[in-house]
Structure 1
Amino acid sequence: MPQNDDQLLSAITRIVPSMLTAMEAFEQLQRNFHPTHSAQLKLTFEPFEARLREDFNFFSTVEFPPDIAAIGSTLHQAATYALRACEGITGDHTDIAPMMRAMRAHCRAQEEIYALAPAMTPVNQYFLEPEARANRRLLSQLAHQEVAPADVIVSEDLPRGILSVANARTVRGGFSVYVPENLDLQAPTSVVMALHGGTGHGSDFIWSWLREARTRGFILVAPTSTGNTWALDGPDRDLPALVKILTYLRQNWTIDNDHILLTGMSDGASYCLQAGLNPDSPFTHLAPFSGVLHPDIVMQGRLQHAHKKPIYLVHGTLDWMFPVEIARMARAELEQAGADLTYREIAGLSHSYARTENPALIDWFNAALQVPSNA
Structure 2
Amino acid sequence: MSDAVVDDIVALLPPLLQSIETLGFVARYLHPPDFGEVMRMAGAPDADLRAEVPRLANWPDAFAHLRGPLQVAADHVTAAFDGLRKAESGDGDLVTVFRALRHLPQAMEALYPLAATLPPVSDLFLDENARADEDLRVRLAQPKHPDSGVFHHDNEPGSRGGFSFYVPETYDPDRAWPLVVALHGGSGHGRLFLWSWLRAARSHGAIVVAPTALGPTWALKGEDTDTPNLDRIVAFIRSRWSIDPERLLLTGLSDGGTFCYVSGLGPASPFTHLAPIAASFHPMIASMADADRLRGLPIQIVHGRHDWMFPVELARQAQQALVATGANVTYREIDDLSHTYPREISAALLTWMANTD
Pick the TM interval, shorter chain: over 0.9
Counterpart of 1:236 in 2: which secondary structure? coil
- Which residue number in structure 2 is paired with residue 78 of structure 1? 73
Letter paired with 2:55: F
TM-score by length of 1: 0.89
The Cα shift of 1:5 comes to 4.1
The Cα shift of 1:55 comes to 2.6
Letter paired with 2:19: A
- Which residue number in structure 2 is paired with residue 15 of structure 1? 12
Structure 1 position 144 matched with structure 2 position 139: no
Counterpart of 2:248 in 1: which secondary structure? strand
The Cα shift of 1:139 comes to 1.3
The Cα shift of 1:296 comes to 4.8
- Which residue number in structure 1 is paired with residue 217 of structure 2? 229
1:39 to 25, 36, 40: 36
Unaligned runs of 5+ in 2: none
Structure 1 position 197 matched with structure 2 position 193: no
Larger CA deviation: 27-36 vs 109-118: 27-36
The Cα shift of 1:308 comes to 1.1
- Deviation digits for residues 278-311 of structure 1, max 9, x if unmatched? 1111000000100012455246354763221100
Alignment of 1:340-355 (within 5 A): 340-355=328-343
State how far apart, in whole Å, the 1-side matches of 2:114 and 2:143 are. 10
- Which residue number in structure 2 is paired with residue 300 of structure 1? 288
The Cα shift of 1:158 comes to 6.1
Structure 1 pair 343/220, CA: closer, same or farther in 2 (3 Å)? same
Structure 1 pair 168/295, CA: closer, same or farther in 2 (3 Å)? farther
Unaligned runs of 5+ in 1: 147-156, 369-375
State how far apart, in whole Å, the 2-side matches of 1:302 and 1:232 are. 18
Letter paired with 2:182: A
State how far apart, in whole Å, the 1-side matches of 2:137 and 2:342 are. 26
Larger CA deviation: 88-97 vs 352-361: 88-97
The answer to whether the 8 Å contact 1:297/1:303 transfers is: no
Count of residues in correspondence between the two structures: 353
TM-score by length of 2: 0.93
- Which residue number in structure 2 is paired with residue 283 of structure 1? 271
State how far apart, in whole Å, the 2-side matches of 1:75 and 1:51 are. 15
- Deviation digits for residues 140-164 of structure 1, max 9, x if unmatched? 2112359xxxxxxxxxx96210111
- Deviation digits for residues 60-116 of structure 1, max 9, x if unmatched? 5x4111111231121111011011222233332441112211221001000000011
Give the % identical residues.
Answer: 40
- Which residue number in structure 2 is paired with residue 51 of structure 1? 48
Counterpart of 1:115 in 2: which secondary structure? helix
Larger CA deviation: 103-112 vs 92-101: 92-101
The answer to whether the 8 Å contact 2:275/2:301 transfers is: yes
When the two chains are superposed, the root-mean-square deviation of aligned CA atoms in Å is 2.0
Letter paired with 1:165: H
Structure 1 pair 263/256, CA: closer, same or farther in 2 (3 Å)? same
Counterpart of 1:228 in 2: which secondary structure? coil
Counterpart of 2:45 in 1: which secondary structure? helix
